[in-house]
Structure 1
């Protein structure tokens, strides 16, 4: 498991599963000859996308960023359509670190689409229960409302199985919340109306988790946004702001979906200063 130390925060990438989605959908109006130079594509025009939660150890707390694909949550048709080759091994990843699911204190949900939220619940004796028994789950109030009352389009990605069993564990916020000293969740909208990014700062050390506003390293260009985005122009504006901010800070940008990089650090010109590559063994 790859790790990164940013100030007093230790980040470890867990195995949350993998799917394969249409490359055109993941890059919107960007022509394939452009995006395929930056991110590999298979014969079905699909790109590999991890769904790997980040374990954040800070100030004696164990915090997850998003929850993975979960297990036995998707139908056979969905497994095929989403190109799922591997379901979640988050619990095994935690065990390998000497931890258990009941030691997770908080789960920070950037948004609640199925590929981020299926890991919030698990099957126990035929019933769905919280996968992280003692954790408080944080998400924006806008996203939580959308999860519970999806529209005709979003109903395909906001599933009752992912929220009903954990309804008593959810804490929502409006615009911004400080989780621990220096660690903030900020409501951005864009990819979904309730989408949030995560920022940690300690002196000169910074990481920014852009979630699905910049799901892979190939989405660094501010204009390269997803066809899945509910509000693509908002995504562009948010990415402009967050890239400018992070470049000035020489921040680390961390990824949940990227199959090749866990994190990249950029300079003020947007050039790569440092990187954490994902082991593909």
Structure 2
């Protein structure tokens, strides 16, 4: 498993599953001849996308970022439509660190789309649904949580009732920002969804920025390259521009949940990748 030290914190990528989604949707209005130079695709025009949670350990806490696509949470039709190659192995990844899902103290959710939130819920015998991480507080931006429970005609396809009903008593919400632990802060950005959030981790002069679905892969570094899935694309563009400038200025690691090639990168002000951590298990 890939690991990264950020001062007093350690970051470990867990194995949360893998999808294949349409490259055209993932790159929006960007022409295929351009994006295919930067990211692989198959004969069906699908691109590989990990759904790997980050485990942050520090100050005596174990914090999960995102939850993976879960296990037995998708029908055969959904697996086919979403190009699922692998379901979550988060429990196995935790076991490799001598941990269990019950050891997770908090879960930071950048947003609640199915590919990030399915893993919050476990399926037991008889198809009963229950919290996958029974002792965790789940932190969600307030507008995101509201839309999760009351989706509109567009968002109801990705905000599923079975992903919030079992965990609703565990959720805590924030508005604009929330310092979870010293140097670990969530920020509301909007863009990909109205309540989309990112986080910044700083300790002992080291910085990591997790832009979630504002920057799903390293191939999306151009601020104008946003997904067709984004509900508010101009908000995504302005937010990406702001946070990528900060990443370059501070030589911060940019971490990924979806990238199938890299776990994290550092960039120059012109967007050139100067350091990278390649994906490994």
Q: What interval of TM-score do these two structures reach, taking the shorter chain for normalisation?
A: over 0.9
Aligned match of 1:46 = 46
Structure 2 counterparts to residues 68-107 of structure 1, below 5 A:
68-107=68-107
Rounded to whole Å, the distance in 2 between the matches of 1:268 and 1:181 is: 27
SS of the counterpart of 1:234?
helix
Instruction: Give the C-alpha shift of residue 60 in structure 1.
Output: 1.2
Rounded to whole Å, the distance in 2 between the matches of 1:173 and 1:184 is: 11
Is the counterpart of residue 185 in structure 1 residue 176 in structure 2? Answer: no
1:45-78 deviation per Cα after TM superposition (whole angstroms, max 9, x unaligned): 0000000000111111110000000011111111
Matched residues, number: 280
**Structure 1 residues without counterparts, runs of 5 or longer:** none
Instruction: Give the C-alpha shift of residue 203 in structure 1.
Output: 4.2
* TM-score (normalizing by structure 2): 0.98
Aligned match of 2:237 = 236
Is the counterpart of residue 5 in structure 1 residue 22 in structure 2? Answer: no
- Segments of 4+ moved more than 2 angstroms: 267-273
1:8-37 deviation per Cα after TM superposition (whole angstroms, max 9, x unaligned): 111111000000000000000000000000
SS of the counterpart of 1:235?
helix
Rounded to whole Å, the distance in 2 between the matches of 1:7 and 1:27 is: 34
Rounded to whole Å, the distance in 2 between the matches of 1:270 and 1:249 is: 13
Instruction: Give the C-alpha shift of residue 7 in structure 1.
Output: 1.2
Structure 2 counterparts to residues 1-281 of structure 1, below 5 A:
1-126=1-126, 127-279=128-280
Q: Give me the CA root mean square deviation.
A: 0.9
SS of the counterpart of 1:151?
coil
Instruction: Give the C-alpha shift of residue 267 in structure 1.
Output: 3.0
1:142-184 deviation per Cα after TM superposition (whole angstroms, max 9, x unaligned): 0000000000110000001110000000000000000000100
Contact 1:204 1:249 in 2 (8 A): no
SS of the counterpart of 1:240?
helix
**Structure 2 residues without counterparts, runs of 5 or longer:** none
